[in-house]
Amino acid sequence: MRSAKLLEGEPTESGRRSSGRRQDISPNEIRTELEKVLASSFFSTADRMRRFLRLVVEETLEGRGDNLNELLLGMAVYDRDKKFDPRVDSIVRVDAGRLRAKLREFYASDGAGSSLRIEIPKGSYKPMFKRYQDKDTGSAQRLREKDAIATTSLAVLPFVDVSSQKGQVLLADGIVQELIHRLSCISKFRVVSLTSVLALKGRRIDVREMGRELGVESFVEGSVLRAKRRVRVLIRLTNVATGFHTWSEMYAFSSSDPLTLLERISKSVAESLAARLGARASVRRKKKPSE
C-alpha cells in the first residue's frame, strides 16, 4: 500500500540533512487515528461533523485533497443540490471552523497522548497529518487546561414573537444576540454562532437531529409576548439527547426601557445556566463596553 506523505509540502534539502530522512505516515495509521477521533465524545453525536472529517481525510488519502472546496463539501456532506451557492450559504465555512476547534479540543484532552495528529489548516479543507512530539510539556499542559474548561456546548435558537401584533421581532433578536454574548463570556461554555443556527432555519427537523448537526448538548430557546405595556419573555433549556426541557424561566417587564430589559434578562439567564451547568467560577473577563 502506498504511503501518504506528510501534507506539509516537500522538505527542503536542509530539512533532509537535519532529519536524516523524510518521515512518511501510512494510510493505515491515518485511518486508525481517524476512527479514534470519530469515536470520541467530541464527535460521537455530531453526525455532520463526522461526515465532514471522514470525507476530507479519505479524499486526501486518495490524492484528491487539492480538489476539496465548498461546493463539493456542501453537496457531499450537507446534501445540497447543484444550485448550492457558498457565497450565500456559509454552512461549510462555519462548520470547518467548528471542526478545527473540535480537533484542537480532542488533542488537548482525550487525544493528548496521540503520536499522530489530524489538522485542517485555516483557509483550506485539505487536512494535514503530523507526527507529534511534545517538546514543551509546560505549554502543552497549559493548552490542555485552557481547552478543558470549555466542556458544555450550547446554541441559542431564534426567539419566537407570539404577540398578537407580531411587532416584537427586533426585541426577540436583541435578546438572542445579548444571550449569545453573555454566554460566550463564560469560559466553560462553547456557544455556536448565530450564523450557524440560521443556516438550519426553515428546515423541518427534530431538535435532536438539529443538535447533532450543530454538535451541541443543549439549546436555549424562547418566546416574546407583548400585552399593552408589559412584555413577557419565556426562556427554556432543552437537552439535545432527550429532547426534554431541563430548565425554564419566565420574565415580565415594563416595555418602556428595552435596553434594561435585554441586559437584565441576559444576565439572569447566564447566571442561572452557569450555576446549573457548573460554570459559576469560570467567567472570562469582559471589556468595558464603549460609550
pLDDT, tens digit, for every residue of 6-59?
333 333 333 333 333 335 889 999 999 999 999 888 887 788 889 999 999 999
pLDDT band at 4 (very low <50, low <70, confident <90, very high): very low
What pLDDT is recorded for position 214? Answer: 82
Q: Give the separation between CA 140 and CA 118, rounded to whole angstroms.
A: 17
Q: Give the whole-angstrom CA distance, residue 121 versus residue 180.
A: 27
Give CATH superfamily name and number for 152-276.
ABC-type transport auxiliary lipoprotein component (3.40.50.10610)
Q: DSSP label at 7?
A: S
Cβ atoms < 10 Å from Cβ of 276: 12
* Amino acid sitting at position 105: E
Q: What is the pLDDT of residue 236?
A: 92
Tell me if residue 55 falls in helix, strand or coil.
helix
Across 82-91, 237-246, 257-266, least confident range = 257-266
* pTM exceeds 0.85 for this model: no
Find the angle CA(199)-CA(148)-CA(113) to the nearest 5 degrees. 110
- Positive or negative, the Cα torsion across 145, 273, 42, 121? negative
Domain boundaries, the chain: 4-148, 152-276
Neighbouring CB atoms inside 10 A of 182's CB total: 25
pLDDT digits 0-9 by tens, 92-118: 988 898 899 889 888 888 888 888 999
What letter represents residue 115's amino acid? S
Asked if residues 42 and 106 have their Cβ atoms less than 8 Å apart, the reply is yes
For the segment 47-93, what is each residue's pLDDT rounded down to a tens digit? 888 999 999 999 999 999 999 999 999 999 988 888 889 888 888 98
Q: What is the pLDDT of residue 291?
A: 41
Which of 10-19, 34-43, 121-130, 194-203 has the weakest average pLDDT?
Answer: 10-19
Region 220-228: what's the mean pLDDT?
87
Q: Which three cell numbers stand for residue 10?
A: 516537500
pLDDT level of residue 1 (50, 70, 90 thresholds): very low
- Residues in Cβ contact with 44 at an 8 Å cutoff, skipping those fewer than 6 apart: 38
Q: What is the pLDDT of residues 152-168, one digit of tens each?
A: 888 898 888 888 777 77
Could you tell me which of 154, 177, 117 has the C-alpha nearest to residue 236? 154
